[in-house]
Chains A and B, each alone.
Chain A
Amino acid sequence: MGEFFRVLTDNASLFREGFYNTVKLFLIAGVGSLVLGMLLGAMRVSPVPALRAFGATYVNLVRNTPLTLVFAFLVFAVPKLDVNIDYFNSACIALTAYTSAFICEVVRSGVNTVATGQAEAARALGMTFAQVLTLIVLPQALRAMVPPMMSVLIAMLKNTTIAAGFSVLEAGAIPAYMSERGEPQFIVLTWIVIGFLILILPLVVLQRILERKWAVAR
């Protein structure tokens, strides 16, 4: 047991830096993918066929591509196009590009859960488009979107580990450093698992609370 805690205390600075970068990646890519995902989602429910087709193509291409390939493309291929991005920013872009396809789908299916009759009734009352959207559709759609949106974000938090394969020192890269220091890897990996459980747990609890509080009866 003493050995178990020694591994953490002896390498505290490495663990701290690793998880600090994981959280930083998560926050930056989280904001990025929410913004881009909502934009793509808005395209997919818009009345303009060209935008709908663009959104659908993006989602179908990205959802069927491995995230590791997106990382590899940004890190190895993009510099060959004379675009130089450092490793950390490449990781942020890869995670954002990938996750926003899933956010887009959440937005689209959230809007589609609202019954057409709701908006038709609102229009029959003479509401404008802005009123229908902000007073009728979005309040109902947002409630349906939040739980799956949290699932996507939790998946993204776990996906940040892939950056370890592409020269970013985050939690997933700790084992590679530890194998140089000769620390027992089973204990190292167990600490990383504990770290992720600590990060994920509040998100899951928040999701459960929102799900219960915002459940829409249909």
Chain B
Amino acid sequence: MSSSSVLYDIPGPKARLRNRILGIVSIAAIVALLAFVVYKFDQTGQFEARKWEQFQYAAVQRELLNGLWATLKVAAVATVLALLFGAFFASARLSDKVLFRAPATFVVELFRAIPLLILIFFGYYVPLQYGWPIDKFWALVIGLTLYNGSVLAEIFRAGINAVPYGQSEGAYAIGMRKNQVLRLILLPQAFRSMLPAIVSQLVVLLKDTALGFIITYPELLFVGKQIGGRLAFGLPYVPTYLIVAAIYISICGLLSVLAWWLQKRLTRLPRTAAKPLPATQTDGGTGVTPL
């Protein structure tokens, strides 16, 4: 990007000097900012051994692992259900019959417009009020499935529509049925083109499991609050949240790298007539994905 940017030419001697000065000034500013943060941490005693020592205990490590396990469990169940939900509603939206298409469009557009937390509240407060025995786990799974399933339905539909029309035309011309065209021609090509977008959406799903904190489902963030609130260790909120953040960032980061790698590989070896869908997480646009 540095050599072929739209904004500026390949720098000459004067511009190189100016860029170097700007570079030194900005490095100084960034270092000053970091130094201020470290100073503030040190001043308020965030580096005291007392605040960090409980992370050496096997019991605390097990607590964190249990939280992580609870997070991953919700994410895994919701991923499977959301993929099924998405496949079902995408195929309904792609149907020729308005009887299938219209309700599916309504459902998908509605669930994408509702804030995810409100969807989770439907599964949490309503059963709570009537004393129905619904687990917080399922309240979270239902919310995540409805929202991410609807987004995935749109990704699937866009993926199928991104396969050039000539492909299905050609398949019909050699006598294939609608079912065969979808199964043998469109899906295999569409799947490759939408894989990066699907993985990006799964990162969003994994991040959104942290909403379980608000309905007190004991996932990673909730566990972090408990560990951070221990008076005996000097209320180590800062160290705990830094550790929790590192866990989230490394897992989501790995998935994001996978999405990026898939997209790169896809552009290098297309093996599909469809253009790849972008892998950027928009984090839930509403009825508006410009595809």
Is B98 among interface residues, defined by CB-CB distance under 8 A? Answer: no
Within the complex, the shortest CB–CB distance from A34 to chain B, in Å, comes to 16
Within the complex, the shortest CB–CB distance from B42 to chain A, in Å, comes to 10
Q: Do residues A76 and B290 form an inter-chain contact, with CB atoms below 8 A?
A: no
Is B35 among interface residues, defined by CB-CB distance under 8 A? Answer: no
What 0/1 readout, one digit per residue, does chain B (94-119) give for beta carbons within 8 Å of chain A?
Answer: 00000000000000000001111110
Q: Classify chain A: how many residues form its interface, as a range.
A: 35 or more
Is B284 among interface residues, defined by CB-CB distance under 8 A? Answer: yes
Is A159 among interface residues, defined by CB-CB distance under 8 A? Answer: yes
Nearest chain A residue, comparing its CB with the CB of B37 = A81
Q: Do residues A179 and B129 form an inter-chain contact, with CB atoms below 8 A?
A: yes
- List the B side residues contacting A179 at CB < 8 Å: 125, 128-129
B210 CB contact (under 8 Å) in A66, A82, A111, A158: A66
Interface hub of B203, B286, B290 (most chain A Cβ within 10 A): B286
Complex CA distance for A151 and B283, rounded to whole angstroms: 9
Q: With A47-B8, A77-B237 as known contacts, state yes or no: A69 contacts B286, CB within 8 Å.
A: no
Complex CA distance for A48 and B125, rounded to whole angstroms: 51
Is B238 among interface residues, defined by CB-CB distance under 8 A? Answer: yes
What 0/1 readout, one digit per residue, does chain B (55-92) give for beta carbons within 8 Å of chain A?
Answer: 00000000000000000000000000000000000000
Within the complex, the shortest CB–CB distance from B140 to chain A, in Å, comes to 12
Q: Do residues B40 and A81 form an inter-chain contact, with CB atoms below 8 A?
A: yes
Complex CA distance for A10 and B9, rounded to whole angstroms: 65
Q: Do residues B221 and A204 form an inter-chain contact, with CB atoms below 8 A?
A: no
Q: Do residues B237 and A80 form an inter-chain contact, with CB atoms below 8 A?
A: yes
Q: Do residues A69 and B221 form an inter-chain contact, with CB atoms below 8 A?
A: yes
Within the complex, the shortest CB–CB distance from B222 to chain A, in Å, comes to 9
- List the B side residues contacting A129 at CB < 8 Å: 7-8
Tell me which residues from 220 to 242 in chain B have a Cβ below 8 Å from any Cβ of chain A.
221, 224-225, 228-229, 235, 237-238, 240-241
Is A94 among interface residues, defined by CB-CB distance under 8 A? Answer: no
Complex CA distance for A158 and B282, rounded to whole angstroms: 13
Within the complex, the shortest CB–CB distance from A140 to chain B, in Å, comes to 9
Complex CA distance for A45 and B249, rounded to whole angstroms: 24
Q: Do residues B285 and A151 form an inter-chain contact, with CB atoms below 8 A?
A: yes
Complex CA distance for A129 and B7, rounded to whole angstroms: 8
- List the B side residues contacting A203 at CB < 8 Å: 286
Is B47 among interface residues, defined by CB-CB distance under 8 A? Answer: no
- List the B side residues contacting A148 at CB < 8 Å: 282, 285, 290
Within the complex, the shortest CB–CB distance from A128 to chain B, in Å, comes to 11
- List the A side residues contacting B290 at CB < 8 Å: 147-148, 151, 211
Is B6 among interface residues, defined by CB-CB distance under 8 A? Answer: yes
Is B134 among interface residues, defined by CB-CB distance under 8 A? Answer: no
B115 CB contact (under 8 Å) in A123, A159, A207, A211: A159
The interface-forming segment of B22-30, B174-182, B186-194, B269-277 is B22-30
Tell me which residues from 173 to 198 in chain A have a Cβ below 8 Å from any Cβ of chain B.
175, 178-179, 184-186, 188-189, 192-193, 196-197
- List the B side residues contacting A14 at CB < 8 Å: none
A47 CB contact (under 8 Å) in B5, B125, B126, B286: B5
Q: With A61-B249, A155-B284 as known contacts, state yes or no: A47 contacts B237, CB within 8 Å.
A: no
Q: Do residues A72 and B213 form an inter-chain contact, with CB atoms below 8 A?
A: yes
Is B15 among interface residues, defined by CB-CB distance under 8 A? Answer: yes
Is B256 among interface residues, defined by CB-CB distance under 8 A? Answer: yes
Complex CA distance for A196 and B22, rounded to whole angstroms: 45
- List the B side residues contacting A137 at CB < 8 Å: 6-7
Q: Do residues B241 and A81 form an inter-chain contact, with CB atoms below 8 A?
A: no
Tell me which residues from 7 to 63 in chain B have a Cβ below 8 Å from any Cβ of chain A.
7-9, 11, 15, 19, 22-23, 26-27, 30, 40-41, 43-44, 46
Given A66-B211, A154-B286: 13 more A-B contacts, CB < 8 Å: A64-B253, A66-B210, A67-B207, A69-B245, A80-B235, A111-B7, A116-B5, A123-B9, A155-B284, A158-B116, A165-B213, A172-B117, A175-B121
